[in-house]
């Protein structure tokens, strides 16, 4: 059995300075959101990978040599993935925003 393939909704956004997410319903703080575009892609995951490596540098090196999957490896690969996706999305231009689906509103 295969799961249905999902995609993030892409849409043009005419007001990037607004504190409301595109398509938000209602008033008050319901539609308030945090603009994650000001964060550097992969920065948090890279920081976590470095913290894992610094906590056990010998084990991390040994695990890399032996090909053992560790939390450090997972965070490092996650950071690499975020950077790769950001590079692809940057090609769309600044007027495009990638939406995040909120399952609570479904």
Q: What distance in Å separates the CA atoms of residue 71 and residue 59, rounded to the nearest whole number?
A: 11
* pLDDT score of 8: 52
User: What confidence tens digit (pLDDT) does each residue in 49-85 have?
Assistant: 999 999 999 999 999 999 999 999 999 999 999 999 9
- The per-residue pLDDT for 14 is 52
Q: Is there a contact between 25 and 31 (Cβ–Cβ < 8 Å)?
A: yes
In which element (H, E) is residue 11 found?
strand 10-12
Comparing 10 with 71, the larger pLDDT belongs to 71
* Residue ranges of domains in the chain: 12-105
The pTM assigned to this predicted structure is: 0.60
């Amino acid at each position: 059995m295969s799961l249905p393939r999902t995609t993030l909704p892409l849409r043009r956004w005419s007001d990037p300075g607004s504190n409301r997410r595109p398509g938000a319903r209602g008033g008050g703080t319901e539609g308030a959101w945090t603009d994650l575009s000001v964060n550097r892609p992969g920065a948090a995951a890279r920081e976590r990978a470095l913290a894992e490596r610094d906590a056990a540098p010998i084990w991390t090196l040994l695990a890399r040599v032996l090909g053992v999957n560790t939390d450090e490896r997972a965070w490092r690969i996650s950071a690499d993935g975020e950077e790769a996706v950001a590079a692809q999305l940057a090609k769309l231009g600044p007027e495009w925003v990638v939406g995040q689906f909120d399952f609570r509103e479904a």
